[in-house]
Amino acid sequence: MIKRFKTQEQGGILVFVSICLAIIFAMAAITFDLGRLAATQGDLQSYADHVALASAGELDGADDAITRATAAAAAMIRDRQTFADGGQDLGASTDYSLRFLDGLPNDDTADVSGFVTTIPADAGLVEVTATPRTVFLPFARAMSRLLGSALPNEQVGAVAIAGFTQYACDITPLMFCLPSSNYTADANAGDTILLRSGGAGAAWGPGDFGFLDPSKLKVDPNGPCGGLNGVNLDACLIAAAGNISQCFAQRGVDIEPGQKVGIENAIFNTRFDIFSGIMNGKRNQPEYGPGPHVVAGLNPGGGGGGGNGGNGGGGNLCLGQNAVASPDTMPFPPDDCFSSGCSLGGGRVGDGNWTAGRAAYVAMNHDGTDPDTTARTRYALYLREIALAGGAGSATPILAGKSETGRRQCASTTVADPDRRVFIAAGIDCSANPINGAATNVPVKEFFKIFLLSPVGNSTSSPPVFDLWVEVIGSAGGSGAGGSTLGGLFHDVVELVR
């Protein structure tokens, strides 16, 4: 009997089928449990990623950046996690925690606790930790009991880190102190600001200006400033037209004093067809050409002539260091309050009212006939004057029958862009970020588009003090919202880094 049982093969396949079925069911059970874990973890990770991106988008370095970033996280769109016990909504403040960081370790697996910061200007990253959820794993629990092993880990969590970076392209390397922390470009379009170069050693106030550190700029090697350094690079970055710099990442700007050795008012004045000092040999270089409207209120004086002439009539009318005031033309005037003392910004910021100045400008330059009474600002009137004279590429005089034609007389070519007399300057809240000379990583409140009203003067001190009379055109972007404009481009980039 036993011998016959040993040789009996009927039903043997059932043993193997039973073993295979047991293995298949076990794998299916494990797959089911792992699937629940993965689905829950995916939900939490997606939620953490979105909260991190929403929060990081507010980390622009401003003094309220962390407050806004925290509020953005709280206002994040609601989500729902459906595989943890009971299924739960995601969106309450108890569903995540935030930590703001000023950097990351080189090792992606290393702890970031050493980089936690509470300083808004330093917070460029945010870490979001989703509150862990419990996922019921019935088959894993049953298996652990059968085998007498410990219960499986049913906790699932997620962590995400996102950062904010602003990229600025083709920016004039200028900054200035705002008259107040709530002063914005668009709300104050048309205001005159007297920008004066701030020196080292004393605290800077409203209207003081300085230069951005050119070493932070990625100079376009194919542009006019490619290959230059030192004062020649400084001069080119301010005076040249075209694509000056490539995009560069910034959390804040590094600035240098407004009184820089080697920097001269001539660097600014090429826009007015004035070539002197360090710019004396640039009149025949197209990248340094003046704009299509160069009314300066100046005529050549003794020893101020020379040059190669140009269109618009007259020829050989280069304005030199000995230029004299014109008897029948004038540049755009500042706001009227400057004659008696403006109340904003310590007397350095106007209120946009230039009624008396406009009347004087129209009387002298246009014999009393206003070219466009609807042009409220000087910049708008400037554009209208160009258009009435045939446009930027025309040789028709801006001013008829005057000692100044308003077109180039000295340079060999004109930069056919009306914004040749426009700068994009970084507006800094100097009360929140005290400056008394060179400074690093200073947050930009907003980039301002400003219009140069008249040639830049300077004192006889060494280095000289510059006065720039400018009119606010509006915002050039770069205030945490992204934007672009002629002569400047800003990208706000928010991305997950972990």
Over the stretch 208-220, which tens digit does the pLDDT of each residue have? 888 877 666 667 6
pLDDT at residue 392, rounded to an integer: 87
Residues 122-181 have pLDDT tens digits of 788 888 888 887 776 665 666 666 665 655 656 777 888 888 877 666 667 788 999 998
List of residues 6+ apart from 277 with CB closer than 8 A: 264, 265, 266, 321
Percent of the chain with pLDDT over 90: 24
Long-range contacts of 313-317 (CB under 8 A, 24+ apart): 313/397, 313/405, 314/405, 314/409, 315/409, 316/409, 317/409, 317/410
CA 92 to chain centre: 33
| Res 486 pLDDT > 60 | no
Number of residues assigned to the chain: 498
Residues 321-362 have pLDDT tens digits of 678 899 999 999 999 999 998 998 889 999 999 999 999 999
Helix, strand, or coil (residue 130): strand
List of residues 6+ apart from 270 with CB closer than 8 A: 239, 279, 282, 288, 289, 290, 411
List of residues 6+ apart from 443 with CB closer than 8 A: 60, 61, 62, 63, 121, 251, 252, 428, 429, 433
pLDDT band at residue 472, thresholds of 50, 70 and 90?
Answer: very high
| Res 203 pLDDT > 80 | no
pLDDT band at residue 21, thresholds of 50, 70 and 90?
Answer: low
Of the candidates 413, 457, 1, 465, the residue with the CA atom closest to the CA atom of residue 260: 465
In 223-257, which positions are buried (b, 16+ CB within 10 angstroms) versus exposed (e)? bbbeebeeeebbbbbbbbbeebbebeebbbbbbbb
DSSP 422-443: EEEEEEE-TTTS--SS-EEEEP
| Res 386 pLDDT > 90 | yes
CB 331 within 8 A of CB 423: no
Of the candidates 411, 401, 231, the residue with the CA atom closest to the CA atom of residue 329: 401
pLDDT band at residue 310, thresholds of 50, 70 and 90?
Answer: very low
| Angle ∠(232,235,241) on CA atoms, nearest 5 | 120
Residue type for 396, please?
Answer: T
Q: What is the largest CA-CA distance in the chain?
A: 136
Position with higher pLDDT, 147 vs 299: 299
Return the DSSP state at 44: H
Cα 234 from Cα 225, distance rounded (Å): 9
In 49-87, which positions are buried (b, 16+ CB within 10 angstroms) versus exposed (e)? bbbbbbbbbbbbbbeebbebbbebbeebeebebebbeee
CB 144 within 8 A of CB 94: no
| Angle ∠(393,313,416) on CA atoms, nearest 5 | 15
pLDDT band at residue 186, thresholds of 50, 70 and 90?
Answer: very high
Cα 316 from Cα 266, distance rounded (Å): 18
Position with higher pLDDT, 484 vs 7: 7
| Res 304 pLDDT > 60 | no
- To the question of pTM greater than 0.95 for the whole model, the response is no
Cα 227 from Cα 469, distance rounded (Å): 31
pLDDT at residue 1, rounded to an integer: 55
Q: Tokens for 16, please give them.
A: 């193997």
| Preceding peptide of 463 cis, ω within 30° | yes
End-to-end CA gap in the chain: 70
Cα 139 from Cα 137, distance rounded (Å): 6
Q: Tokens for 437, please give them.
A: 């000379």
| Res 419 pLDDT > 80 | yes
Cα 243 from Cα 235, distance rounded (Å): 15
Q: Tokens for 95, please give them.
A: 């569903």
CB 72 within 8 A of CB 50: no
